[in-house]
Amino acid sequence: QQPVQSPQAVILREGEDAVINCSSSKALYSVHWYRQKHGEAPVFLMILLKGGEQKGHEKISASFNEKKQQSSLYLTASQLSYSGTYFCGTQWGDSSASKIIFGSGTRLSIRP
């Protein structure tokens, strides 16, 4: 039931772009994106709702393709501060049930 994230890990040089994908086997109501820095709690980045538009946050944006049941997180001109593990979380069905099922995470390492 967990959404599938890809890639599992990615290493970038500062300034490069990255895409992280999140796929679900069930129809999605919403997709959440969180980032967890080493030794810290996961922190909310953004939420994409069924029927909603692409969201953006600093140089991080995301899209939600309802037909393909997937979301992608785009990191543009990556900065050292973007390092961490990114989790997508999904909610299913036609209404929010508050429960979120998280993927296994994508570890992003940014090198100077």
Partner 1 sequence: DVKVTQSSRYLVKRTGEKVFLECVQDMDHENMFWYRQDPGLGLRLIYFSYDVKMKEKGDIPEGYSVSREKKERFSLILESASTNQTSMYLCASSHSGLAGDTDIQYFGAGTRLSVL
For partner 1, the closer CB: 29 or 74: 29
Rule CB under 8 A: choose which of 12, 21, 83, 101 binds partner 1. 101
Sign of CA dihedral 85, 8, 111, 39: positive
In order, the DSSP letters of 34-89 are: EEE-TTS--EEEEEEETT---EEETTEEEEEETTTTEEEEEE-S--GGG-EEEEEE
Q: Which stretch binds partner 1 (CB under 8 A): 15-23, 66-74, 75-83, 99-107?
A: 99-107
For residue 2, the 8-state DSSP code is P
Q: Are 97 and 33 in contact (CB under 8 A)?
A: no
Rule CB under 8 A: choose which of 13, 53, 98, 112 binds partner 1. 98
For residues 51-90, which are near partner 1 according to CB under 8 A? 87, 89
Residues that bind partner 1 (CB under 8 A): 1-2, 5, 8, 29-30, 32, 34, 40-44, 47, 49, 87, 89, 91, 96, 98-105
